[in-house]
Structure 1
Amino acid sequence: MRASIGDVIQVHSKTVGVPTQRGEIVEVRGSEGAPPYLVRFSDGHESLMFPGPDCVIEPRHGE
């Protein structure tokens, strides 16, 4: 998995009825776009993430 600052990460829930979480990647700490990623979610909290198979990265707009 590769990402850049400004990309959006979606974390799909494994539980029925729990919505997908979306956050903006604000820092890439791995080499050449590799995890871990510092992600800011819409509610304002930030989390250091090593994305799993339930995550999808969308390139930032315009790319």
Structure 2
Amino acid sequence: MHASKGDRLVVHGRTVGQEDHVVEIVEVLGPNGNPPYRVRADNGHETIMSPGPDAVVDHRKASGQG
């Protein structure tokens, strides 16, 4: 998995009816774009994530990014 600051991380719901969780990558902490990532949710909460196989990087920049 490779990501850059401003990319979106999409964690797919694990059960039927569970929505995807989308967060913005605000800092890449691993070497060469690899996890872990500091991410920010829509509500402003930040955390550090090492995404699993149920996550994908959306390289389109998050809204508000240039």
TM-score (norm 1): 0.88
State yes or no: 1:13 paired with 2:42.
no
Task: Describe how 1:50-61 pairs up with structure 2 within 5 A.
Answer: 50-61=50-61
Cα RMSD, aligned residues only:
1.0
C-alpha displacement of 1:45: 1.3
CA distance in 1, matches of 2:45, 2:13: 18
Matched residue, 1:39 = 39
Q: Percent identity?
A: 52
Q: Where in structure 1 are there 5+ consecutive unaligned residues?
A: none
C-alpha displacement of 1:5: 0.1
Question: How many aligned positions are there?
Answer: 61
Task: Describe how 1:19-34 pairs up with structure 2 within 5 A.
Answer: 19-34=19-34
Q: Where in structure 2 are there 5+ consecutive unaligned residues?
A: 62-66
Matched residue, 2:4 = 4
CA distance in 1, matches of 2:47, 2:15: 20
Moved over 2 A (4+): none
